[in-house]
Amino acid sequence: MAYANHHRPWEIDQDLFLALLSHLRAKLPTHAKTPLVVPGKLYSLDSTVIDLCAKVFDWAKYRTAKGAVKIHMLLNHDGLLPEYA
């Protein structure tokens, strides 16, 4: 999938996003003044790579001349604080 995304024009994803966004906005009631309410707790999950120097952190092998660690973060929207990292 990463190879396909690297060789695919980004405008395809933008067009799809904008089409879905306008479709979903049309379905929202125009009189709604309250924010969207979801049952239960709301969390966001994010994953990112933090680059490290491969010579200093030899345990963090990512590429031949590059080191990195991957971090997963779970954000609790109640207090906007990380729940898990």
Given this model, what pLDDT does residue 61 score?
Answer: 73
Q: Where are the domains of the chain?
A: 2-84
The tens-digit pLDDT sequence of the chain (85 residues) is: 677 777 888 888 888 888 988 887 787 766 655 666 778 888 899 888 888 877 777 777 777 767 888 889 898 877 777 888 7
Token pair, residue 46, equals: 């994010």
| β-sheet with 43-52: strand ranges across | 43-52, 67-76, 81-84
What is this structure's pTM?
0.42
Helix (H, G, I), strand (E, B) or coil at 80: coil
Give the pLDDT of residue 35.
67
How many degrees, rounded to 5, is the angle at CA 37 between CA 31 and CA 48? 120
Query: Could you tell me which residues are beta bridge partners of residue 67?
Result: 52, 61
